Amino acid sequence: MTKESFLGTLEAYYGQKYPTVQAHFISLYLADRIPRALDMLLSETLKSFSSQYGKLPDIAVFESLRKQVNDDLEADYAKADLTLPAIEGERERDLTDAEREQVSAALAKLGLTFGGTA
C-alpha cells in the first residue's frame, strides 16, 4: 500500500475528504513507512477509530496506534524465514556480490538493511 492509497482508502471508508493541508502533513508523517506497515496501520485504524463521530482519523490517531503496528511488524519479521537456501556441494563461504545484492534487496523490501546499505 502506498501513502496515497492509504489516504484514499480512509477517505472512501469514512465518506469524507482530507483538507489539503492535513493530507500534506499526514503524507509527510507516512513518508518513511514501508507498505506492510501502512497495511497494518490501516487495519488498526479501521478497528480502533469509529466513524460514528463523523471525523477522519488524524496523525494523533495514527501515532496512538504506532506501538501496536510496530509490535505486529516485529512479530511478522520474527516468523519470516530469512535463510538462504543451501548451495549444493558448497560449505560456508563469503557471499558473492550478486548474492549480497539479492539479500540486500530482500531485506530492503522488509525495511531492513544488510551490510550498511538499504
CA distances from 52 to 12, 19, 42 (A): 15, 19, 17
Residue 75 belongs to some domain of the structure:
yes
Given a cut of 80, whether residue 3 has pLDDT beyond it is yes
Write b or e for each residue in 88-98: b if 16 or more Cβ atoms lie within 10 A of its Cβ, otherwise e. Answer: eeeeeeeeeee
Residue 31 belongs to some domain of the structure:
yes
| Domain, as residue range, for 63 | 3-79
Nearest to 29 by CA among 41, 12, 13: 41
Count of the separate structural domains present in the chain: 1
pLDDT for 61-95, tens place per residue?
999 999 999 999 888 888 877 777 766 766 666 77
Given a cut of 90, whether residue 97 has pLDDT beyond it is no
Given a cut of 60, whether residue 116 has pLDDT beyond it is no
